[in-house]
Structure 1
């Protein structure tokens, strides 16, 4: 039987950082060193986080909630949004098994636990998945040569319910 665990990346997780950087290079051609630097910074910042799904202790998927994503460079008006779910990746051999949805739900719950009231994302490949997970479409924008859908989701943070 397969055992699934969620691991929040910490500064000591150098091997996991290297694995994630390799995945990001293979999938999106993100330079390896750029990913390593970003992952180290995120692991040291409680307001951002990277999570890895381990199946039988082996890394199979990852994603995070970040302050800075590539879209913000080309569409700076979105800088008003401070938390972005991004770089959700699952090993090709593990896709279509629901891991992406489980990872996104875990990231959303972690965001809520950390007091983050709303998160955003952009995608051109998984709009239907995010709709199924309760995300709302904001708009479609140009992102380089791609057209991406910007989406948002309220986490339902307890701070939203506090009234004075």
Structure 2
């Protein structure tokens, strides 16, 4: 399995867009259209934000993760952020998520950052069990409870 920048693997743009759209956009009720998501992922960067990584082998895409400059408006002092980690259900339990996270941490470190942040509404135990440090619980503009975590990159 390989982890690479989505910008280097454009053949996976539609598949990544579909994963993120179904798992994050629709569930959040943002109103964003699928075409907007495809446009977004068609314009991710190599080494400036937003950055998207993809896990794949041959022609099979297993999962994705992105790195944003900010993923929580009320916490602009934290940056950058791990976002939209998704592994296809049939590939879970194979270490895909860990590999994506490890590569994201490496990219963030290469960019000169000492820490990487994330927000989660329902996966706090997953990140705690992988060495992330809990920072705080906040409420967003919709009054959802959000746990904020960080990890050292260097």
Decide: shared fold, TM above 0.5. yes
1:162 equivalent in structure 2:
none
Q: How many residues align?
A: 146
Runs of 4+ residues deviating >3 angstroms: none
Q: Which of these residues, 62, 65, 72, is aligned with residue 63 of structure 1?
A: 65
Unaligned runs of 5+ in 2: 27-31
What is the match of residue 29 of structure 2? none
The 2-side partners of 1:12 and 1:106 are apart by: 15
Tell me: CA distance 1:12–1:60, structure 2 relative to 1, closer, same or farther (3 Å).
Answer: closer
Per the normalisation by structure 1, the TM-score is: 0.79
Q: TM-score, normalised by structure 2?
A: 0.83
Provide the residue aligned with 1:52 in structure 2.
Answer: 54
Cα deviation, 1:14-58, whole Å, max 9, x if unaligned, reads x31111111112212153233223323322x52221110003431
Q: Over the residues paired in the alignment, what is the CA RMSD in angstroms?
A: 2.0
Query: In 2, distance between residues paired with 1:32 and 1:107?
Result: 25
Structure 1 residue runs without a partner (length 5+): 157-164
Q: Does 1:106 align with 2:103?
A: yes
Deviations 1:91-121, CA, capped at 9 Å, x for gaps = 1111232211221111111211221221110
